A and B are shown apart, each in its own frame.
Chain A
Amino acid sequence: MQQIQLPQGMKDTILNECEKKKYLQNTLEQIFESFGYEEIITPTIEYYETYENAFKNIQTTDMYKFFDENGRILTLRTDMTVPIARVCASKFKDSKPPFRYRYTSNVFKVRQKFAGKRSEVTDCGIELIGLDSKSDVQVLSCALEVMKNFKNYTLEIGNVQFFQAACKVVRLSTEEVNTLANLIDKKSMVDLKVYLDSLYLSEKIVDFFMHLPFLCGDVNILDEAYTYCFDDSLKDVLDSMKECIQSLKELGYLENVTVDLGKVAHLDYYTGIIFEGYVSGVGTSILSGGRYDCLLKKFGRDLPACGFSVKLDPLIDHVAVQSKKKYKLYYPQDKQIEAMKQAKKLRKEGIVILEPSTNESIFVEEVQA
C-alpha cells in the first residue's frame, strides 16, 4: 500500500482555504503593523529547556519532542510568546523598552486522538513588552480592532489578580489555589462546592468563591462584584478593571465587551488581565491573551508584558474574501504564443488561466466564483 496517511492531528490546507487564510492573515497583519508592531520570525524548533524554564507546570505530554545530535531535548514550539520573550530578553538586552512585536507562525501541540482537533495551528499575534498594566487598554483596543472584522463577536476580559488577592487573604496553599482555580475556571459548580466544603472556610468566603464563576457577562457585573469583596485588595482590582473598561468606552470600543472574573486559567503564567475573543459559529475561543509580567525575568531581563494571539484556522470559514476576477483563456496549440500575449494584457484585470482547446480560435471566458 502506498503511504498516503498524515500523522495524527495534521491537515492539508487546500482548495480555497489557502486564499481565505492568507486574506485573514493579511487583514490582521495590517492592523498590527498600523499599531507599530514589528514582525519577528523565530525557529520552529526550540530547546525543551526553554519551555521548561518558562512554565512552572509544563504539560510535557502536549509537546512534540525529539533529540539533537548531543542528546539534548528539542521541541516544536508550542507558542510564540516564549520564543519572543527569549529573543527580547537576550538579543535586545541593552535596548530601551517598550518593544512591540508581531508574528504569524505555526505552533504545535499534541492533541487528543480522534477528537477533531488540530496539532498544528497558525497563531497570529502581538506582544507589547516593557509597559505595565496601565497600558493594558492599548493591547485590548488592538484586540478589538481584530474582533471588529467578524460578525457577532464578544471579547471577554477577566483579571487573575481578583482571584489571587482573595486566595492571599485566605492564606491558601499553592496546591489549594491551583485546585480551586481549575474548578472555578471550568465553572465546575458541583465539584467546587464539595472542594470548598473540605477547606473549612468562613461562609462569606465560600460565598465569594461560589459566586466567582458567575461574575460574568455585561460589564455592569463589576458593580455587583463589589458586594462580594471581603478585603480592600479585591476592591483595588475591581477599581483598575473599571478604569480599563471606562477607557475602552471613551475610545468607542465598549460594544461587545464582556467581563468574566471567574476566568483564572494558567496562573503560573498570567499575572493581570486575561481575555478571550469568541465569534458566533466557532465552538472555542479564537483570540486569547493577557498580562504576563513574570516571564521575561526568567530569561534574564525583568520587564512587564502583555499580548495576545489569534487562531487563524477556525476563522477561515468566517471571512468574506473579496476574490479577484478570474478568466479562462482557451487556445488551439498553434496559437499558444498569441494566446500568451493576450493573457499578459488581461492579467492587469485579474487571474488568467491558459487552457488548451480543440477550437480553432482563441476565446476568453470569465470564471464565476
Chain B
Amino acid sequence: MSLSIALTKGRLEKQTVAMLEELGYGVEALKDKGRALVFKDSVHDIQYFLVKSNDCITYVNHGVADIGVVGKDTILENENDNYELLDLKIGKCKFIVASLPQNQLFSKVGHIKIGTKYPRVAKQYFLSKGMDVEIIKIDGSVELAPILGLCDGIVDIMETGTTLKENGLVVLDTVCDISARVIVNKASFKLKHEEVMKVIHDLSKRVNEDVD
C-alpha cells in the first residue's frame, strides 16, 4: 500500500531529505522543488508533502498522512493522538526557562507572569514545580517581553543561547530536550504495518550509524 509522509518545512526538511537520500529513497524532486507541495518518491511507493509543523500533527492525526516528521516542541504543544516511534536526533535544541538575573523567578512571592510561544508546555512545566503562573502568549522575539517588563520570565526554545545572552537573560532551568521525531498515525500503523515499519527501520538504522 502506498505511504504518505508529511515533512515539516524549513530546516528539518533539508536534514530529513538528506537522511532519506542517503538511505536510497527517491527524493530528488524534494531537493529542487519550486512551488510544488506534493512529491512522489522515484523509488518507493511513497508520496511526500511539505507542511508547517503544527499542521504536520493535524494531518497525521487524521490519517491523511501516515507518517510525519516534526519537532518534539510541536508535539508537546499540540494534541498528538499518534505513535511517536523514533528520535531522528536532528534539529536538536532545548526548552528552557529564562529571566533577567534580578527577577528571582523561582523564589518570587506573588503573582508570576511567563511569556511564551508555548503556553501548554510552560503551564505544564510550572505546574510540575508546584507553581500556578499566568501565561502570556507571545508570537515572536520572546526575549523582549521580560526586558520591557511584560512578564517575569520566559519559556522558549534555545539552540546556542546567544540571543538570550545578548539580551541579558540568564537560563534558570531546562524544561526538556527537543529533536525531530517520527510520528505515525495509529490506524496506518495497523493497516500498513510492514510499509511503515520498513521506513522506521531504515531511518533508525541511519540514526544509529550517526551515533556510532
Contact = CB atoms under 8 A, between A and B. Distances in A.
Interface in B175-209: 181, 184-191, 193
A190 B190 contact: no
Interface residues of B, number: 25
Contacts of B81: 284
Contacts of A260: 190
Interface string A82-104: 00000000000000000000000
B8 interface: no
Interface string A232-266: 00000000000000000000000000101000000
A285 B63 contact: no
Given A187-B85, A190-B84, A190-B181, A282 B187 contact: yes
Contacts of A220: none
A280 interface: yes
Interface string B101-122: 0000000000000000000000
Interface string A268-289: 0000000010101011110000
A71 B41 CA distance: 61
B61 to A, nearest CB: 7
Contacts of B62: 116, 283
B58 interface: yes
**Max chain A Cβ within 10 angstroms of own Cβ: one of B1, B64, B81, B188:** B81
B79 A190 contact: no
A284 B193 CA distance: 15
Interface in A178-204: 186-191
A154 B190 contact: yes
B87 interface: yes
B89 to A, nearest CB: 10
Contact of A115 (B64, B79, B188, B193): B79
Nearest to B188: A283
B61 A280 contact: no
A118 to B, nearest CB: 12
Interface residues of A, number: 24
A186 B185 contact: no
Nearest to B66: A283
B63 A284 contact: yes
Contacts of A284: 63, 81, 186-187
B46 interface: no
B191 A283 contact: no
A36 interface: no
A217 interface: yes
A285 B188 CA distance: 10
A187 B187 contact: no
Contacts of A216: 193
Which 7 residue pairs across A and B have the least CB separation, nearest first?
A283-B63, A187-B83, A190-B87, A188-B84, A278-B187, A278-B190, A283-B62
27 contacts: A115-B61, A115-B79, A116-B58, A156-B190, A186-B82, A186-B84, A187-B83, A187-B84, A187-B189, A188-B83, A188-B84, A189-B84, A189-B85, A190-B181, A191-B84, A216-B193, A258-B193, A278-B190, A280-B1, A280-B191, A282-B63, A283-B62, A283-B63, A283-B64, A283-B185, A284-B81, A284-B186
